[in-house]
């Protein structure tokens, strides 16, 4: 949508640019967090944690600009919908960043004696959530809903994988008392990834509203 007021248009564009930047940082954070789980690399974990500060700052920057525009510009129609959706989307992106920080913090502390099969299952779970996040962000930035149904279905797959993983870890705990703290860390990592799937689903609902002017279940 073209605006006659260039300053106003620049403000709207800046929100879009910061959303893209936030998504880009988040995707790198996701990739690094999963590598931490596989490698137990503390230095890489610290980088994931540092990126969370950038995510939080962008969250504040976008929020401040949105409320400034609403207060001073009195936007209408499409712009107002975009601004309200942006506030909800950045909230979910920020929470995804929080969970990825937890994944990294817990990941590098897990004993290397934990069976490879459990780590591999976590990598599969994380990989599916990462792709789901990437595709949802593409729908947002390209304003397209072509993959919306597939993305929603992936959340069910993530939930199933998470449930199966918890059962595997609990079985392992019963037979290996010495690894109970590590097993609990694995459960927390899996739960964090599962929650990310829920937040991505929320984002897709907002993208649907942004594009269609109504929520998918309405």
**Number of alpha helices (DSSP H) and beta strands (DSSP E) in the chain:** 6, 0
Separation of CA 178 from chain center:
33
pLDDT score at 217: 60
pLDDT score at 218: 46
Percent of the chain clearing pLDDT 70 (strictly above)? 97
pLDDT of 178 > 70? The answer is: yes
**The token pair that represents 189 in the structure block:** 């990592």
pLDDT score at 54: 95
Percent of the chain clearing pLDDT 90 (strictly above)? 78
Cα–Cα distances in angstroms (integers) from residue 138 to residues 67, 95, 96, 144, in the given order: 25, 19, 16, 8
Residue 179 carries which DSSP code?
A: G
Q: What share of the chain is helix, strand, coil (3-state, %, to 5)?
A: 85, 0, 15
Least confident of 1-5, 22-26, 127-131: 1-5
pLDDT of 96 > 70? The answer is: yes
pLDDT of 157 > 80? The answer is: yes
Average pLDDT score over residue span 39-45: 96
pLDDT score at 144: 85
pLDDT score at 4: 58
Q: What is the pLDDT of residues 58-91, one digit of tens each?
A: 999 999 999 999 988 888 888 999 999 999 999 9
Average pLDDT score over residue span 195-216: 90
**Position with higher pLDDT, 99 vs 209:** 99
- Which is it for the CA torsion 126, 131, 132, 138, positive or negative? positive
Closest CA to 15 of 83, 80, 77: 83
Least confident of 59-68, 76-85, 124-133, 187-196: 76-85
pLDDT score at 95: 97
pLDDT score at 100: 97
Domain ranges of the chain: 6-212
Q: Which CATH superfamily is domain 6-212 in?
A: Phosphate transport system protein phou homolog 2; domain 2 (1.20.58.220)
Q: What is the pLDDT of residues 97-118, one digit of tens each?
A: 999 999 999 999 999 999 999 9
């Amino acid at each position: 949508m073209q605006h006659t007021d260039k300053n106003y248009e620049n403000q709207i564009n800046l929100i879009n640019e910061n959303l893209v930047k936030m998504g880009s940082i988040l995707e790198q954070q996701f990739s690094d967090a999963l590598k931490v789980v596989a490698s137990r690399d503390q230095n890489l974990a610290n980088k994931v944690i540092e990126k969370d500060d950038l995510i939080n700052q962008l969250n504040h920057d976008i929020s401040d600009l949105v409320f400034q525009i609403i207060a001073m510009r009195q936007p209408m129609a499409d712009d107002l919908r975009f601004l309200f959706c942006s506030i909800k989307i950045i909230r979910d992106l920020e929470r995804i960043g929080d969970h990825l920080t937890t994944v990294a913090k817990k990941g590098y502390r897990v004993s290397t004696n934990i069976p490879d099969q459990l780590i591999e299952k976590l990598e599969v779970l994380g990989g599916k959530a990462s792709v789901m996040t990437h595709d949802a962000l593409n729908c947002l930035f390209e304003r397209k809903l072509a993959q919306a149904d597939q993305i929603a279905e992936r959340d069910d797959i993530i939930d199933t994988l998470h449930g199966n993983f918890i059962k595997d870890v609990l079985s392992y705990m019963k037979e290996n008392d010495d690894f109970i703290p590590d097993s609990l860390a694995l459960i927390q990592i899996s739960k964090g990834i599962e929650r990310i799937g829920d937040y991505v689903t929320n984002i897709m609902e907002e993208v649907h509203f942004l594009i269609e002017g109504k929520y998918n279940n309405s």
